[in-house]
């Protein structure tokens, strides 16, 4: 289990403090480093692109000589590739090319240059006994692009070459422990394909060595997935509640009802982490067919991963020499969220690349004060629940909140049946409660739940406090009254339509399909509808007004 030095289990008002904590070290996963080789001699500028003496020119000439046609891609350049960093297996290097973003000429004379790629593949035997290439778990992809000042984009804008002219090389790989290892893998592969003299490290521009991708993760027991997903979701809500942050979130329902969460945030320091000049993504994910696998299979269990998600505006990519600091931050985000979710060392699952609870102990600075932040936020949410449930204009929101609390989450069918409102009206109230952070909507069909167990329990207390004498039959009576009112209103509307046929049948059908109703049939007041218009939730095609009784100036 994790060990705090010193222990920090009690509430704290300090959201910027930290505690030394020990946890199995999260494993580095995907990584990428880019760099420039200033290997171009300007005296060769008049030569064709494949004859300019650069690493890129060497790769382009190789493609023209050996491949020559995209139909021959991927082309096996090295049939038996060996390297000390590879696991057991038979590996090959293949090459391909793709149209790049810059080229030469302008207008109708514009011609794009082509990026040259070298990729690692593994020889495997197919079911019918044939030898074929497949992507290995230890990945490697190298991209080579030209850097010449006489190049332009298709728009005619010049290509910038801030680190000099020559070749831009980008290496993407997995399971590497630092930039030097990433670069060494790239150099070995390039020399195997293009020759020992294909690149000279003296041409490498040190300042151009930049991190493009970095990831750290742990694999943990599937029984903990719900707690981890909720913890990542809480972090997102706390950051949004704290303000001054840009948040991108993505969620999806997958098999067996498990919810994956993915949050990209640029200001994790609001949760007590050190401020970083880049955005960080935290996500929980799992292989698609995990539910078909036995618990003994590591792939039956999910991962929690933190990754570098790009530099902030105006900031350069981190230098390769800053790798340790970047990984320290990413590992800290992973380990801290494990601590917050109650994932201990014994809950970690080992696989071929991660030792689980047997990973080396790692000491890090864990941000403290989260409990107090959650408490403060939930008190704010409790105020929102009180305000909604106490609205004098309607008991509808109170009844919606009560059903969600009693049912520990409710579908729209359940809400419609127990509250008695039209579904569109219920959806309107739920959308507003979700926007205020009180509830969230999950899956399809939609399930409306409170944002956390703490908020659920607080909501149960509030609905009891506000109407202590309110019985189940009282709410049922209100629901029945709403249904009767809706039916009476529908009969009145039908009678009016029969008496005064619409001059525009298409418009009438459109109204019915969209769901327009008279104000009297809604639980919302005119003030609430006006507020929704001001907030932009309703537009100029969502509200109809009877104009024949309006003063002439308002009809214009």
User: Which residues make beta-bridge pairs with 411?
Assistant: 447
Whether residues 355 and 290 share a domain: the answer is yes
Number of domains, the chain: 3
pLDDT of residue 525: 63
Residue 142: CB atoms within 10 Å: 23
User: Which residues make beta-bridge pairs with 124?
Assistant: 132
pLDDT of residue 170: 97
The Cα 356–Cα 234 span in angstroms is 25
Low-confidence ranges of the chain (pLDDT < 70): 1-16, 238-267, 370-382, 392-394, 493-525, 527-528, 531-532, 534-537, 539-541, 546-556
The Cα 239–Cα 263 span in angstroms is 11
- The count of C-alpha atoms lying within 13 angstroms of the C-alpha of 380, restricted to the half-sphere facing its C-beta, is 13
Whether residues 415 and 556 share a domain: the answer is yes
Structural domain for 539, as ranges: 388-556
Q: Please report whether residue 375 resides in a domain.
A: no
Residues 168-191: tens digit of each pLDDT: 999 999 999 899 999 999 999 999
Q: Please report whether residue 261 resides in a domain.
A: yes
pLDDT of residue 451: 75
pLDDT of residue 245: 39
pLDDT of residue 546: 67
Q: How many residues does the chain have?
A: 556
Whether residues 352 and 400 share a domain: the answer is no
Domain-terminating residue out of 170, 204, 238: 204
Q: Please report whether residue 19 resides in a domain.
A: yes
The Cα 417–Cα 421 span in angstroms is 8
pLDDT of residue 392: 55
**Contact 349/219 with Cβ under 8 angstroms?**
yes
Measured in degrees and rounded to the nearest 5, phi and psi for residue 19 equal: -135, 135
Among 521, 528, 496, 525, residue whose Cα is nearest residue 424: 521
Q: DSSP string covering 277-325, please?
A: SEEEEEEEE--TTGGGS-TTSGGGS-EEEEEEEEEPTT-PPPBGGGHHH
Q: Please report whether residue 34 resides in a domain.
A: no
Q: Please report whether residue 383 resides in a domain.
A: no
Among 374, 329, 342, 369, residue whose Cα is nearest residue 234: 374
pLDDT of residue 359: 95
pLDDT of residue 11: 34
* pTM over the 0.75 mark: no
Q: Please report whether residue 210 resides in a domain.
A: no
Q: Please report whether residue 236 resides in a domain.
A: yes
Whether residues 312 and 438 share a domain: the answer is no
Q: Please report whether residue 470 resides in a domain.
A: yes
pLDDT of residue 262: 61
pLDDT of residue 353: 93
CA terminus-to-terminus distance, the chain: 71
User: How far is the CA of 422 from the CAs of 394, 428, 440, 491, 514, in angstroms?
Assistant: 14, 10, 20, 15, 13
Residues 327-363: tens digit of each pLDDT: 999 999 999 999 989 999 999 999 999 999 999 999 9
Whether residues 114 and 224 share a domain: the answer is no
Structure token digits, residue 424 = 């569109």
The Cα 272–Cα 293 span in angstroms is 38
Residues 427-477: tens digit of each pLDDT: 988 988 888 778 888 877 788 988 777 777 778 888 888 888 788 888 888
Measured in degrees and rounded to the nearest 5, phi and psi for residue 304 equal: -115, 125
Instruction: Give the containing element (helix H, strand E) for 410.
Output: strand 410-411
């Amino acid at each position: 289990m994790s060990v705090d030095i010193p222990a920090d289990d009690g509430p704290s008002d300090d959201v910027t403090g930290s505690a030394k904590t020990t946890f199995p070290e999260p494993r580095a996963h995907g990584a990428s480093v880019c760099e420039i080789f200033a290997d171009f001699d300007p005296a060769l500028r008049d030569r064709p692109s494949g004859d300019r003496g650069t690493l890129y020119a060497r790769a382009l000439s190789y493609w023209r000589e050996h491949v020559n046609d995209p139909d021959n891609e991927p082309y096996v350049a090295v049939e038996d590739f060996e390297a000390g960093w590879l696991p057991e297996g038979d590996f090959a290097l293949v090459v391909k090319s793709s149209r790049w973003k810059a080229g030469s000429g302008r207008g109708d004379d514009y011609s794009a240059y082509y990026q040259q790629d070298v990729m690692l593949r593994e020889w495997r035997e197919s079911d019918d006994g044939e030898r074929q290439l497949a992507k290995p778990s230890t990945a490697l992809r190298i991209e080579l692009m030209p850097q010449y000042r006489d190049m332009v984009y298709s728009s005619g804008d010049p290509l910038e070459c801030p680190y000099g002219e020559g070749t831009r090389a980008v290496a993407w790989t997995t399971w590497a422990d630092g930039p030097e290892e990433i670069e060494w893998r790239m150099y070995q592969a390039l020399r195997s394909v293009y020759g020992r003299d294909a690149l000279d490290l003296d041409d490498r521009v040190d300042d151009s060595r930049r991190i493009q991708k970095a990831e750290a993760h742990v694999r943990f027991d599937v029984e903990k997935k719900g707690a981890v997903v909720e913890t990542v979701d809480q972090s997102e809500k706390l950051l949004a509640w704290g303000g001054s942050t840009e948040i991108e979130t993505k969620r999806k329902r997958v098999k067996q009802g498990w919810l994956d969460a993915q949050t990209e945030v640029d200001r994790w320091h609001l949760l007590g982490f050190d401020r970083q000049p880049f955005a960080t993504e935290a996500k929980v994910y799992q292989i698609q067919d995990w539910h078909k696998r036995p618990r003994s299979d590591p792939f039956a269990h999910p991962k929690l991963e933190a990754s570098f998600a790009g530099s902030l505006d105006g900031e350069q990519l981190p230098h390769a020499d800053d790798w340790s600091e970047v990984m320290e931050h990413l590992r800290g985000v992973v380990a801290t969220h494990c601590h917050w979710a109650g994932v201990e060392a014994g809950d970690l699952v080992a696989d071929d690349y991660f030792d689980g609870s047997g990973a080396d102990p790692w000491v890090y600075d864990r941000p403290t004060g989260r409990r107090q932040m959650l408490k403060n936020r939930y008190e704010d949410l409790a105020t929102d629940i009180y305000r909604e449930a106490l609205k004098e204009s309607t008991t509808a929101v109170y009844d919606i909140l009560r059903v969600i609390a009693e049912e520990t989450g409710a579908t729209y069918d359940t809400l419609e049946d127990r509250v008695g409102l039209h579904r569109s009206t219920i959806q309107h109230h739920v959308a507003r409660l979700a926007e205020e952070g009180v509830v969230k909507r999950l899956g399809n069909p939609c399930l409306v739940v409170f944002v956390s167990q703490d908020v659920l329990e607080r909501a149960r207390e509030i609905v009891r406090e506000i109407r202590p004498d309110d019985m189940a039959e009282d709410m049922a009576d209100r629901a029945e009254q709403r249904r009767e009112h809706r039916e009476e209103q529908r009969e009145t509307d039908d009678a009016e339509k029969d008496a005064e046929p619409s001059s525009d049948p298409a418009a009438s059908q459109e109204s019915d399909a969209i769901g327009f109703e008279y104000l009297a049939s809604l639980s919302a007041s005119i003030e609430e509808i006006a507020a929704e218009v001001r907030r932009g939730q309703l537009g100029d095609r969502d509200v109809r007004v009877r104009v024949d009784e309006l003063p002439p100036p308002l009809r214009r």
